[in-house]
Amino acid sequence: MADPLRLVLLGPPGAGKGTQARRLVERFGLDPISTGDIFRRNIQEGTDLGRMAKSFIDAGELVPDEVTVGMVVEAVDAAPGGFILDGFPRNVPQAEALERELAARGRPLSAALAFLLDEEVAMKRVAGRRTCQRCQTPYNVFFDPPRVEGVCDRCGGPIVQRTDEGEETVRRRLEVYRESTAPLLKFYSDQGLLREVDADGTEDEVAGRVAAALADLG
């Protein structure tokens, strides 16, 4: 039997990474490991790492890489088969630490899957998102607008934008991504692990490209 897939996912906001991750999880029976979830769980359960992370978050500071890496590695150890890391690593030092920890366990990454998307498209996908406040039907003012501006086609309810998806916020997130990710792409490329996927397309189209990019691994 083939080695279980151990994947890192990289991609800007709006690239559909979360959706593709869910499809991979189902298809290959992988454990999804998201740093957001790990943080929440460790903090909720009051673990040592969780308490440490919380002290930084409460102080309005970034959680140091070693604390984050510690929590991710614990989650990896709890996932004996394949896994998908989404939202981690965010920088080269984290990637290096992850590589060391995985090598020590004889469980190196199978691939780093990078979703490529033009920034303007990413911008429209995220900043264009709206949701009906009443029935939760999703819209996009650029790609899939309601027939009447601001009004849900299905129930006539008001459609609203999330406060963290305003244009300025999304621009900032894209900038942060661009700056932190370029070095990560090079890091994984140097390791021969980088697999790039064009994320401009429908969910099914992108899923097909993902499958092709990983075909020799599964």
Q: Applying CB under 5 A, which residues contact Zn ion?
A: 132, 134-135, 137, 152, 154-155, 157
CB of 164 to Zn ion, least distance (A): 21
Q: Which is nearer to Zn ion, 97 or 152 (CB)?
A: 152
CB of 202 to Zn ion, least distance (A): 23
Residue type for position 19: T
Q: Which is nearer to Zn ion, 157 or 201 (CB)?
A: 157
CB of 160 to Zn ion, least distance (A): 11
Q: Which is nearer to Zn ion, 137 or 181 (CB)?
A: 137
Is 11:125 a contact under the CB 8 Å cutoff?
no
Q: Which is nearer to Zn ion, 32 or 157 (CB)?
A: 157
Residue type for position 100: R
3-state helix, strand, coil in the chain (%, to 5): 50, 15, 35
CB of 133 to Zn ion, least distance (A): 8
CB of 24 to Zn ion, least distance (A): 31
Ordered DSSP codes for 50-101: HHHHHHHHHTT-PPPHHHHHHHHHHHHHT--S-EEEES---SHHHHHHHHHH
Close Cβ partners of 103 (under 8 Å, ≥ 6 residues apart):
none
Q: Which is nearer to Zn ion, 51 or 134 (CB)?
A: 134
User: What is the distance between the alpha carbons of residues 10 and 85, in angstroms, rounded to a whole number?
Assistant: 9
Q: CA 160 → CA 39, 91, 139, 149, 173, distances in Å? A: 28, 33, 9, 11, 20
Active site residues: 17, 90, 129, 162, 173
For residue 206, how many other CB atoms are within 10 A of its CB?
A: 22
Answer left, alpha or beta for residue 59, where phi above 0 means left and psi between -120 and 50 means alpha: alpha
